[in-house]
Chains A and B, each alone.
Chain A
Amino acid sequence: MINFTDVNLSFTAGMNALNGVNLDISRGEFVYVIGKSGAGKSSFLRLIYADVMPTRGLVKVDGCDIRSLGRLQIPYFRRKIGIIFQDYKLIESITVFDNIKLATDIYYKLRSEVKDEIYILLRDVGIFEKRDELVCNLSGGEKQRVAIVRALINNPQVIIADEPTGNLDHETAENIMQILNKLRLEGTTILIATHDDNIRQRYPAREIRLDKGKVISDAGVESE
């Protein structure tokens, strides 16, 4: 599903955010990307959704080399991926429903066409009652659930979550992980960048550890 072959990424000359990364992630796999701040976790994830291009090497997602994508093709490529951020990236001044509806707008769908689908997902994550609330009135955990529903609404093949529980208390983080774990069981490929050891212990999965832009261990096996 996701293949990195000798991938380097540098934003400034001589400073590599990623350095010679080689790995394969299969369809339906659940993967933690771990490491200290500045280890290259976010850069690794950004490569997967083609927000940045590798300086060297090959990144393939679902058989598609991201460097071969033109500017016009990137949006279509991105539709395969659902992205969840630590800071949610929701529009605070509009309702929960409208925030999720934004994701379906790109398919020119009308409100009436997506209403049922959105309601089902809102029920699944337990915030159906909040559907008409403004996002600014929600708690952190509720906002993250909205972000999850927005990431899921277009049935992505891959879910990328960059520190999804970073701003949440333990109980809310546990709820979010339960939702992601449910998706894993349904066969969605999930990549989570996290610092949270408790979460990793509660929901064990493959762990890719990065340090200074290099993969220093994969699934607990030292690579260097």
Chain B
Amino acid sequence: MLVLKVSNIVKSRSKFIYLFMRGFRNFLRDFRSNIVTFITIITLIVLFNIFNLTSVVLSSFLSSTTSVDSIRVYMLDADKGDISKLSTDLISFDGVVDVQIFFPSDSKKFIEENTSNIKGLDKFSEQFFPTFIDVKLDAEGIKNIKVLKEEMYKLSNVEYVSYGEKILSKFFQINFITNVFIVVLLILVCISLASVIFNATRISLYKYSEEMKVYLLVGGTRPFISMPYIFSSMIMSLVTSVLAIAIFVMLSSFLNSLLVDIDIFMKTPPIWTYIFQIFILNIFSLISSSISVVLFIKRVSSVNDV
């Protein structure tokens, strides 16, 4: 029984290899006529990756810009005694590691040092600038930042508490929209790739229609007839997607080597995104080539049409 099972596995494996090799032969035979398809697919994938890289760079920029590690507490009365009491209250919160008091003169100085292109700032008196306490948080504090903000509001002499959530939410929206755009682009690329593969497979099938009809005549099963063409399309999409990604990785490394001279480094997408891309693109290619082959074989199903 076991011997029979093993022999069946060996047989089906050798059949698989046989059909795969026929598919590989078809791939080599059609290589020249499929050059346009190769170029189209490679261009599509490289373009997609350029957009993807842009989104990764933007996302990395936004996350570094919006990294929150402190809360600012603005006061109603900036009396020295009140400030000292509030500081003591704030430091007692879990997740708070340090507090730094900014008087109006410090606030003005801080703005002057951290902004540019604000004309006439020096004309404003210090009294127009707020007194606030910058509360530094640890990892746990950052995690519970919303709760901490609510708790700090409850303290006496507190006018306003903020960690820049309005700006953050705008940045998050930009990031979200960029990600949605990339997903939509990936879907469009997959659909385009599927159409290109569908058409390329169909054109190849016309070339092989005589062979297909002879196989039908002599008793070739549908999987026997169709599998090599599907394998051939899969090899084509696998080779092109790997090649496209290799080209893109080389291109981005080259760009990084140029940018490093001006102290800029583009963060490239993680390796798993490339593997995921190859997987998704090849699934789409498998589906489209299978549909193409099955529809074609249906059309040539009568031996007498040979």
Contacts and interface: CB of A to CB of B under 8 A. Distances in A.
Interface size for chain B: under 10, 10 to 19, 20 to 34, or 35 or more residues? 20 to 34
B306 A75 contact: no
Interface centre among B213, B219, B303 (most CB of A within 10 A): B219
A89 B220 contact: no
Contacts of A89: 213-214, 217, 306
Contact of A51 (B210, B222, B303): B303
Contact of A106 (B220, B302, B304): B220
B89 to A, nearest CB: 80
A18 B302 CA distance: 19
A83 B211 contact: no
Interface residues of A, number: 25
B218 A78 contact: yes
A75 B219 contact: yes
B214 A79 contact: no
B219 A106 contact: yes
Main secondary structure of the interface of B (DSSP, over half): helix
Contacts of A90: 214
A189 B144 CA distance: 88
A51 B215 contact: no
Interface in A127-185: 150, 154
B214 A106 contact: no
A46 B15 CA distance: 30
B18 interface: yes
A75 B220 contact: yes
A105 B215 contact: yes
A221 interface: no
Interface string B205-231: 000001101111111111010000000
Most buried by A among B18, B211, B213, B218: B218
